């Protein structure tokens, strides 16, 4: 349990940041789910649009420290390859 005023303050700050980070992570996952759904439906235009919407959200997560840079790059790369394959077929 926090005893000093500083440790009590830090506990409050951590709680606040945790809630913000959870919301941001959830938002990112929602955008990724929309891309997955568009790919699964076979609609190339919808998948491309969903990917364009998801990319800035993922990179924003990187700048905020919610997602690692390489993780975001990997996800975007793999989704882009799948969208490209979908529009090629």
Domains of the chain: 5-88 (1.20.58.110)
State residue 62's pLDDT score: 97
Q: Band of the pLDDT at 4, cuts 50, 70, 90?
A: very high
State residue 14's pLDDT score: 97
Q: Give residue-wise pLDDT tens across range 45-83.
A: 999 999 999 999 999 999 999 999 999 999 999 999 999
Q: What is the mean pLDDT of the chain?
A: 95
- Write the DSSP string, 48-87: HHHHHHHHHHHHHHHHTTSS-HHHHHHHHHHHHHHHHHHH
């Amino acid at each position: 349990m926090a005893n000093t005023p500083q440790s009590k303050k830090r506990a409050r700050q951590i709680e606040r940041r945790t809630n913000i980070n959870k919301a941001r992570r959830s938002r990112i996952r929602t955008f990724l789910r929309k891309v997955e759904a568009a790919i699964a439906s076979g609609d190339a235009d919808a998948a491309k649009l969903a990917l364009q919407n998801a990319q800035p959200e993922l990179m924003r997560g990187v700048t905020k420290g919610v997602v690692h840079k390489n993780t975001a790059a990997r996800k975007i790369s793999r989704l882009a390859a799948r969208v490209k394959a979908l529009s090629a077929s």
